[in-house]
């Protein structure tokens, strides 16, 4: 579950681990500090939504970032009120006397916090499978030692003329395989393998590699066959243009997983799961 940041009258979910950065820096070898369990065996069996065991609430006051509450996981969504006394107890235990009526000034944090714009049809376009999310429309606020320095709105998806749509990552491998299937494959080489295809910041295919270590490639693969398969895929995809994906307004690259099965007659099948 996300942390929250209060900006004016809005309470907005944010997927930035600011408090955990502080805790891990304070003692990187501990899984539990000040009664907060995160990455801990104690949380085994608990929903992965509550993996950290807590949620933090921040607030921007006079252009400064403050930690105002540390709550139990899911407490904000429950019907009961937040246990403010327990929250204050946790904050005092962690930060001693370094708090005032506003909370704890987050002077250890320099960086960016992003959160989705509250507009109609805004959607999540990427998720790392654990915590971090990218939304199509976002607000990004920048801090230097807890001081607010900038605030901007960004559109994280750029449509390119004749570009392949990549809003849904799960469908991209099918579009890639469609290009590969139209190729004539050399029957003397078996390209039945798992690959990672990199779409770069410009929306072009920049790299193709097998999902093995360098040592495994040297030990198990013939050099000629490996080079043929990699170059065959790169050449088949070189003309593909994809839309551009961004994070905090900046173009990013991403890897797309594909798995190929090649028949004896040279034809290939899509085994990507």
> 259 versus 29: which is more confidently predicted?
259
- Given this model, what pLDDT does residue 232 score? 97
**Judging by DSSP bridges, how do beta strands 54-61 and 3-7 pair with one another?**
parallel
User: Which residue in this structure is represented by tokens 């891990």?
Assistant: 24
| pLDDT tens-digit series, residues 58-71 | 999 999 999 999 88
- Given this model, what pLDDT does residue 92 score? 84
Could you tell me the pLDDT band of residue 31, with boundaries at 50, 70 and 90? low
> 15 versus 39: which is more confidently predicted?
15
Q: Mean pLDDT over residues 67-83, rounded? A: 78
Confirm if 30 and 37 have CB atoms less than 8 A apart.
no
Could you tell me the pLDDT band of residue 136, with boundaries at 50, 70 and 90? very high
- Given this model, what pLDDT does residue 256 score? 97
CA angle, residues 153, 157, 158, in degrees to nearest 5: 110
| pLDDT tens-digit series, residues 167-219 | 999 999 999 999 999 999 999 999 999 999 999 999 999 999 999 998 998 88
- Given this model, what pLDDT does residue 43 score? 44
- Given this model, what pLDDT does residue 128 score? 87
- Following DSSP, what letter does each residue of 183-228 receive, concatenated? SPPPTTS---SEEEEEE-TTSSEEEEEESS-HHHHHHH--HHHHHH
Which of 153-157, 202-206, 218-222, 244-248 is predicted with the least confidence, judged by mean pLDDT? 218-222
How does 174-188 read in b/e, with b if 16+ C-beta sit within 10 Å?
eebbebbeeeebeee
> pTM of this prediction?
0.80
């Amino acid at each position: 579950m996300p942390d929250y940041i209060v900006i004016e009258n809005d309470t907005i979910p944010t997927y930035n681990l600011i408090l955990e950065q502080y805790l891990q820096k304070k003692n990187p070898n501990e899984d539990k500090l000040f009664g907060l369990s995160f990455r801990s065996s104690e949380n085994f069996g608990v929903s992965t939504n509550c993996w950290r065991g807590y949620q933090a609430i921040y607030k921007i006051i006079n252009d400064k970032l403050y930690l105002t509450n540390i709550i139990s996981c899911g407490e904000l969504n429950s019907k009961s009120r937040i246990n403010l006394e327990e929250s204050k107890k946790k904050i005092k235990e962690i930060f001693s006397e370094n708090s005032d009526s506003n909370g704890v000034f987050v002077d250890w944090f320099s960086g960016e916090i992003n959160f989705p714009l509250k507009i109609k049809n805004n959607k999540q376009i990427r998720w790392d499978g654990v915590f971090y999310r990218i939304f199509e429309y976002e607000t990004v606020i920048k801090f230097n030692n807890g001081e607010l320095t900038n605030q901007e709105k960004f559109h994280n998806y750029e449509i390119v003329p004749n570009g392949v749509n990549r809003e849904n990552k799960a469908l991209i491998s099918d579009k890639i395989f469609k290009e590969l299937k139209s190729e004539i494959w050399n029957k003397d080489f078996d390209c039945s393998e798992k690959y990672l295809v990199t779409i770069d910041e410009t929306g072009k295919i920049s790299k193709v590699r097998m999902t093995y270590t360098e040592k495994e490639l040297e030990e198990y693969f013939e050099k000629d066959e490996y080079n043929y398969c990699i170059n065959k895929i790169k050449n088949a995809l070189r003309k593909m243009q994809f839309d551009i994906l961004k994070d905090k307004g900046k173009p990013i690259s991403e890897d797309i997983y594909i798995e190929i099965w090649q028949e004896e007659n040279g034809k290939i099948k899509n085994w990507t799961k």
